[in-house]
Amino acid sequence: MNLLRHVLLIAPPCFRALSAFLAPKNCTANALKLRSLACLTVLTCLAQSSSHGADAAELKVAVAANFRAAAQEIGNRFSQKTGVAVQISSASTGVLAAQMRRGAPFDVLLAADRARPQALVDDGSSTGPARCYALGSLVLLGADSLDTALSDPNKSLAIANPRSAPYGAAAMAVLAREDFAAASNRRVVRGSNVQQALQFYTSGGADLALVARSLSPDSGVPVPSEWHSRIEQYAVLNARSHNADDARAFLDYLTGPSAAPVLASFGYQPCS
């Protein structure tokens, strides 16, 4: 009963009313059973309240691999301004969209395309609307000339998986250009996401890499945007989120003027 009294002291006021009932005035078997049941109820409610409070205090943001570093910096600035902690996780857009559809517990998805976020809105996985937060672009690493490097069949190339990563799909559109048909039989190494494609290149696993400019904003040869479809990066809220207000505030911050300098420093363009 000492433990129980301690629990009641820290419990919400609505639970303290139980203290009179739980006092050892009656030691019958039925009274003991009732006191035990009441004690279990209090402890369960406290645990649920504590768990909900912990979830509400931290905003979980899942981001496409190209955007991880930018999201981390923007998340830190948002936390400093609002006091809301932001936890960042990353993978390819396709993987994250599938996880959200299966009930993953993150609050916000920052994708690298428009189609998957909109599909999540359409099937009810997101409350919507899907919001554009940045336009991405590609760079070629490992060469000084696009035409020379991408026409050389002896140069292996690292890209993201085009089936799950929008930057991989953009890279494939570049390689499909008639100008580079002579190198169609080159060895292409596919990473599960654009970050892994970069790792293949930096570790010596490929001679070249077509990756997001955000991963190498100060080096590489920019790829003309007309060589592939526009890389529109959209964000959506998770319909299962318990932190909807904080999630909306984060998206407002991401798409507002405070985040614009960070986006530009990573090579992103504004949506409009």
Query: Helices (DSSP H) in 102-185: which residue ranges?
Result: 115-122, 146-150, 166-175
When pLDDT is averaged across residues 86-106 and rounded to a whole number, the result is 97
Total-model pTM: 0.78
Q: What pLDDT does 10 receive?
A: 40
Pairing of strands 58-64, 208-212: unpaired
List, for residues 30-57, the tens digit of each pLDDT value: 544 445 444 444 344 444 444 444 444 6
Could you give the CA distance from residue 204 to residue 159 in angstroms, rounded to a whole number? 14
Q: What pLDDT does 272 receive?
A: 79
Largest CA distance in the chain: 91
When pLDDT is averaged across residues 101-129 and rounded to a whole number, the result is 97
List, for residues 206-263, the tens digit of each pLDDT value: 999 999 999 999 999 999 999 999 999 999 999 999 999 999 999 999 999 999 999 9
**Cis-peptide into 129, omega within 30 deg:** yes
When pLDDT is averaged across residues 124-138 and rounded to a whole number, the result is 97
- Measuring CA to CA, which residue among 215, 196, 193, 216 is closest to residue 205? 196
Q: Is 236 helix (H, G, I), strand (E, B) or coil?
A: strand
Domain 138-222, what architecture? 3-Layer(aba) Sandwich (3.40)
Q: Kindly list the domain boundaries of the chain, sorted by start residue.
A: 2-50, 56-135+231-265, 138-222
Which residue is associated with the tokens 């696009």? Answer: 146
Tell me what percent of the residues of the chain surpass a pLDDT of 70.
Answer: 79
The CATH topology of domain 56-135+231-265 is: D-Maltodextrin-Binding Protein; domain 2 (3.40.190)
